[in-house]
Copies of this chain bind each other. A is one copy, B any other.
Amino acid sequence: MKILVLGLGLIGASIAKALKKNTNHYVLGWNRTKSVTEKALADGAIDETGKLDELLSQADITFINFYPDAIVPFVIENRDKFKKGSIVTDSCGIKSKICRTLEKENFDFSYIGAHPMAGREVSGYDASLATLFDNASFICTPTNAKKSETDTLVELAKEMGFKRTVVTTPEHHDEMIAFTSQIAHVLACSYVLSPLAPYHPGFSAGSYRDVSRVARINGEMWSELFISNKEPLIKEIDDLVLNLERFKEAIKEEDGKGLIELMSKANKIKEEIG
């Protein structure tokens, strides 16, 4: 197949590199900043580039790796340029808003939202890795796609090296991601906003390091993700605050038994599920 990767930042370029490393598909690539496309070509991360229209018309599968709010307008605007019968997908961290909007359209191609579950606290082409997805999960959220098309995308993800694939609804994806990813970023940021954070060197170890890691964040992109997933994320913030208040209350009352109970529950989840 000819596979087009649009946007060659951390995720897009890692997709291109994983395709080149682990599959025999022909990889077309395009990036708004031309120098990045040229670098990807020189590195062998993509086989070919060209004019956007010509690339869109050739690709059997197109991966769109743009900021969340740019995806729907791009697909609508270019609706007549994608190859007829092809699969168009994206790598964005929210799915309902995108997939439920696009499923209403009558396209000549099939739109299947996706979310390759990997990231790094650094971004851009230079941070991309052919191995980024090796232990990762590939989630896709087909709504009105045919089963055979979903199967094609899932098979490709397996070929690319993803460890696990999940097919679910956009809503279930967004609810789970609000917990596994978005609230983790919100809490890491909230944590390092403590007035004491700048003075941590000499007083910190692995707990600070790990809990604060994802506070190294691209605010422009994540603000779009957070706002696009408002209800599930607010629910997670509320649940988290509720649990923090439970700890606070038990500490205030010097309720050792209550604290042990809370921690035993938490510990049990980590021991049993990870």
Contact = CB atoms under 8 A, between A and B. Distances in A.
A144 interface: no
Contacts of A251: 226-227, 230, 233-234, 237
Contacts of A121: 270
19 contacts: A119-B205, A119-B207, A179-B194, A179-B196, A180-B196, A180-B200, A180-B205, A180-B208, A184-B212, A187-B211, A187-B244, A191-B243, A192-B269, A193-B269, A212-B270, A218-B263, A230-B251, A234-B251, A237-B244
A211 B198 contact: no
B190 A244 contact: yes
A180 B193 contact: no
A167 to B, nearest CB: 10
A193 B259 contact: no
A210 interface: yes
A93 B230 CA distance: 38
Interface string A232-274: 0110111111011111100110101001111111110111011
A156 interface: no
Contacts of A185: 207
Contact of A222 (B175, B204, B263): B263
A210 B210 contact: yes
A120 to B, nearest CB: 8
Nearest to A210: B210
A166 B266 CA distance: 32
A119 to B, nearest CB: 7
A70 to B, nearest CB: 14
A201 B267 contact: no
Contacts of A183: 191, 194
A271 B120 CA distance: 14
Determine which residue in A164, A215, A251 has the highest number of CB atoms from chain B within 10 A of its CB, and name it. Answer: A251
B264 A252 contact: no
Interface string A137-170: 1010000000000000000000000001010000
